[in-house]
Amino acid sequence: MSECWKCGRADAKVARVLSLCADCIRDADDDLMGEIDGVHARERARFGLPPGPPREPGGRLCRFCRNRCRIADGGAGYCGVRVNRGGKLSGGMPDGAAVSWYHDPLPTNCVADWVCPAGTGAGYPRWAYRRGPERGYTNLAVFYEACTFDCLFCQNWHYRRGRQDAPGRTSGELANAVLSHTACICFFGGDPTCQLPHALAAARLARRNNPERILRVCWETNGSMAPSLLKQMMNLSLQSGGCVKFDLKALDGKLHRALCGVDNARTLENFAAAAQRIPERPDPPPLVASTLLVPGYVEAAEVKAIASFIAELDSNIPYALLGFHGDFLMTDLPATSRAQAESCLQAAGSAGLKRVRIGNVHILDSGGAN
């Protein structure tokens, strides 16, 4: 860690990659935000990714996410998988995606395991195989190897090492990976957003191939997709007993842009839209939120702001606070301490949320007294 070069504070936790404290980021003017954008651009160049969402005049417009990249012929979108070949966009479609998967025994380390059918038996017998945790069953964990954000603390950044150019896997191949003891499918990454047509096709085919049985469809996402795609995701989750898990990384727009490379306006809009659909199936909860507690950047004040936003929509939305450990470009930050986690838990509760928990407790135990 280093001190903030702008205000000189030495008592704040400051990541070397930014060299700015959270307060200075929140107060940043356009010039300073431009410098922060430059940090992302330089780091993305190492992986052959565009410095920002491309805006090529005459390029093809990708409508999958909030970035709305306009991609030149022969170029790629911000995510790296959406490409323009001869004036036609491809990548992330049912005929091929940058994706891998594995079978994870239930109950598993899921953001929603404390409220979902797999971890609790919620919704038994319609949505769960057991009254309690579904031991003996598995989750088909589907990892999409691309993302619409550029998080400096990404804990799954290794997919950037060239998998985008590997032969794609079809949605049919993925659907056929469902086994007799598969109870749920969870799409995550990276993020499924930039390859949602593939994921949606696979989920629908898997459910058609397995009628008259429980097969929940769940998503872990940054929430940046086009609203029309979110509607389809919610439809599948509501119909199957699954849920959509939004990772709300920050509420302040400048802080979000500094940490994640792009703004969060679409994420917040989509979360609010998803919350409107909770009455269609209140239990098990179809919408879950989580936030990674990044020391120095996402602490009690930011968590309270996020929790207030959630509570204004529905105070019963489950909210998980996740322990951070240094990774990717923020390895110099300490792990989330128990004191930070507990202060964030209190802040979320004081904002009016009724269902809040601390996740990844094993990380807190190694976080020291920060």
**Residues 202, 115: Cα–Cα separation, whole Å:** 25
State yes or no: pLDDT of 342 exceeds 80. Answer: yes
Q: What is the pLDDT of residue 338?
A: 95
Residue spans per domain, the chain: 99-288
State yes or no: pLDDT of 52 exceeds 80. Answer: yes
Tokens 């904002």 correspond to what residue?
A: 351
State yes or no: pLDDT of 298 exceeds 50. Answer: yes
Contacts of 240 (CB under 8 A, 6+ apart): 127, 207, 214, 215, 216, 217
**Maximum Cα interatomic distance, the chain, rounded to a whole number of Å:** 63
**Residues 108, 46: Cα–Cα separation, whole Å:** 34
Q: What is the pLDDT of residue 11?
A: 80
**Residues 237, 2: Cα–Cα separation, whole Å:** 44
State yes or no: pLDDT of 171 exceeds 80. Answer: yes
Q: What is the pLDDT of residue 365?
A: 59
Q: Please state, for a pLDDT cut of 70, what percent of the chain lies above it.
A: 96
pTM (2 decimals)? Answer: 0.96
Q: What is the pLDDT of residue 162?
A: 66
Banded model confidence at residue 368, pLDDT cuts 50, 70, 90: very low
| Average of per-residue pLDDT across 19-46 | 97
Give 117-133 pLDDT, tens digit per residue.
999 999 999 999 999 99
Q: What is the pLDDT of residue 367?
A: 43
Q: Please state, for a pLDDT cut of 90, what percent of the chain lies above it.
A: 92
- The CATH superfamily holding the domain 99-288 is Aldolase class I (3.20.20.70)
Handedness of CA 284, 188, 223, 333 (dihedral sign): positive
The candidate with the shortest Cα–Cα distance to 78, out of 111, 55, 46, 108, is 55
State yes or no: pLDDT of 271 exceeds 90. Answer: yes
Give 197-216 pLDDT, tens digit per residue.
999 999 999 999 999 999 99
The candidate with the shortest Cα–Cα distance to 143, out of 198, 210, 182, 205, is 198
| Of 366 and 171, more confident | 171
| Average of per-residue pLDDT across 10-24 | 93
Q: What is the pLDDT of residue 12?
A: 82
Rg, Å, the chain Cα set = 20
State yes or no: pLDDT of 275 exceeds 70. Answer: yes
Banded model confidence at residue 93, pLDDT cuts 50, 70, 90: very high
| Average of per-residue pLDDT across 139-147 | 97
Q: What is the pLDDT of residue 370?
A: 41
Contacts of 244 (CB under 8 A, 6+ apart): 218, 219, 221, 230, 233, 234, 237, 274, 286, 287, 288
The candidate with the shortest Cα–Cα distance to 82, out of 23, 352, 71, is 71
Q: What is the pLDDT of residue 167?
A: 60
Quickly count helices (H) and strands (E) in the chain: 11, 12
